[in-house]
Structure 1
């Protein structure tokens, strides 16, 4: 259903004329007089890992600023819609973006808000690319305007489970999640992956807004695991890691892309976080020399925002450049942009950018990072590396 739906409130002839005028500048026309607007929809403030969202929106802004600096025939506008990472807040922000007639969306950022809002973007026929929402279920909805630039939880959870059992050699595994859409799905996959390899895991949940995790810590201590997997974000994961280590739990601590941030270390404490392992379908925190564009991106990002790029900055940048490629090719309506995204194929700074028919990214590699001397160190392909 097109988003420029008119209510005929006056005389029938006048209403028809208004509707015809709206159609002339709507999402299905040639785009001659229509603004080109890329929206970022995701967390910017609040308690739900705002730093991850800021990383992404900065990547989006950088790509748009670089594009506009080339003096194209029509410059691209950028709008931010802050969901606070809350599935209850996100629908209102998405509706604002729809009402503002944006051309394309980078986001939503988290899985829960994606589940709550992508149906509205689908109905409005607005192409959207999530740089970070990993819930496997998102790719099974038959959505036509949805894409994501990151592997799903099944891919990451399977690799994490294999890593815990095969690489770390864990015989006993304790799986914990923070009871959010993304976290539960990933933890479920890790649980089943280690279970399939003959390990009988234990399971518990935490509230990321709580401050005392002694109940969970005591369960872990009683079980005496070799490894702990935490499905969740750095806010919550930091407190859990600190309390586990302060409680003399020395089991290997493994987490996911939601925890891949310096704030995990800052919150847990350098000593308590040392040796923690974090997986991600991203690698640009510590880029290789194989792609000179990566080094340029990192330098440009730091020059623009006076800080280092972080988790998903590169994915936000690549998602935006996929949309900008459509604009460069003369695709200016939402439908034409979406059709172009089905064929896009280029080497991004985060990974090769090519989408499968259902909107999933084609590349599925999962990478591993480890906290070494108070910093996140890139180890490489999780299927091949050995932790320090």
Structure 2
């Protein structure tokens, strides 16, 4: 029989109401799912160092808050958080995934955070039956791999890319656009979706290298300047986006830069410089972190010393789904996987129910545009889905 769930908005994690005692008791529920919850672990898999670390740290801090709250409510039966620093690199991902798989106490993973590392690690997690909930990897193809362990807590680029294109076309009314991507699974996929919406308005496109491999972009800057565009779209991450924006401005290109959630972080402003970054439009298949329900924002800042950033709230929710399963007695990997597959509930960022391929129910997906204003990334507007 399915356990009933109780959700305290912005407070304790989404905890299952387990009849007959605590999660540490040797109830029949525990025995059926492989043991007791005490000593169980969940992992966070994402960049905590390197050029893409800012978004990963946002997410890790959200997971840390969820675990901290859970452990305060379950002081006699705590869950441990294991941090798996991928540096945002697909090359690092398989070894890191195997490290998580080999630790049999790890029952679920929040992450991987990025699409490239998700592609590299996904087959291993699937083979091991280790459930993953990514708070931010948005490449649509991740849900087409027949991985039974893959779940996504946000919309994919089939929602974000078209929305970015709609914003450029209908809000900015830009009829000459240059599109650049970093050749990553995420960046190229997002750029391709934008191109589909803009059609003939795309007057040029180019590719650069991501992952900190390129810092000088004069060739593409010259092409953009020559094309006399009204907007530039970049598919990739914040470090390169900031440098491109900085070099565009230095060359006299005033057309605004538009980019996706991989750039939606204050670190982009640092990379570009405040003056150059001003007016940049950043999209995200997520709501503003300040819109998170309940006391999440205050609790996050109290624990981490900073305000929540992009995907802090979705990472918090993803962790709480895993913790709810552990609380419900799903204390082996197979049991927790089945729990997540059938999960339906409310978080601080959204309502969660997973459909085919592990995708978030499309009815729950929202895409927002943010704008760099006065040196900060601030909400601009929710973008219509079509």
- TM-score, normalised to structure 2, is 0.87
Q: How does 1:7-26 map to 2 (within 5 A)?
A: none
Report the counterpart of residue 381 of structure 1 in structure 2: 382
CA contact (8 A) 2:139 2:156 kept: yes
Gaps of 5+ in 2: 1-30
Report the counterpart of residue 11 of structure 1 in structure 2: none
Report the counterpart of residue 126 of structure 1 in structure 2: 130
Deviation at 1:77, TM superposition (A): 1.1
Bigger-Rg structure (1/2):
1
Deviation by residue 1:345-376 (Cα, 9 ceiling, x = unmatched): 22211211221132111122110100111111
Bigger shift: residues 58-67 or 326-335: 326-335
Distance 2:203 2:194 in 1: 10
Report the counterpart of residue 49 of structure 2 in structure 1: 45
Bigger shift: residues 209-218 or 254-263: 209-218
CA gap of 1:140–1:119, structure 2 versus 1, over 3 A, is same
Report the counterpart of residue 63 of structure 1 in structure 2: 66
Report the counterpart of residue 359 of structure 1 in structure 2: 358
Report the counterpart of residue 81 of structure 1 in structure 2: 84
Distance 2:325 2:36 in 1: 15
Instruction: Specify which of 259, 270, 287 is matched with residue 283 of structure 1.
Output: 287
Deviating 4+ runs (over 6 angstroms) = none
Task: Work out whether 1:100 is the aligned partner of 2:103.
Answer: yes
CA contact (8 A) 1:342 1:357 kept: no
Gaps of 5+ in 1: 1-26
CA contact (8 A) 2:37 2:329 kept: no
Task: Work out whether 1:240 is the aligned partner of 2:241.
Answer: no
Distance 2:232 2:149 in 1: 37
Distance 2:33 2:201 in 1: 57
Report the counterpart of residue 24 of structure 1 in structure 2: none
Deviation by residue 1:264-321 (Cα, 9 ceiling, x = unmatched): 1122111111111000012233327xx3x1xx11111111111111111111100000
Deviation by residue 1:56-113 (Cα, 9 ceiling, x = unmatched): 1111111011001012663111111111111111111110111111111111111111
Instruction: Specify which of 81, 90, 93 is matched with residue 93 of structure 2.
Output: 90
Instruction: Specify which of 135, 148, 159 is matched with residue 144 of structure 1.
Output: 148
* Pairwise CA RMSD: 1.7
CA contact (8 A) 1:191 1:201 kept: no
Distance 1:216 1:284 in 2: 32
Deviation by residue 1:115-166 (Cα, 9 ceiling, x = unmatched): 0111101110011101111111001112111101111111111111111112
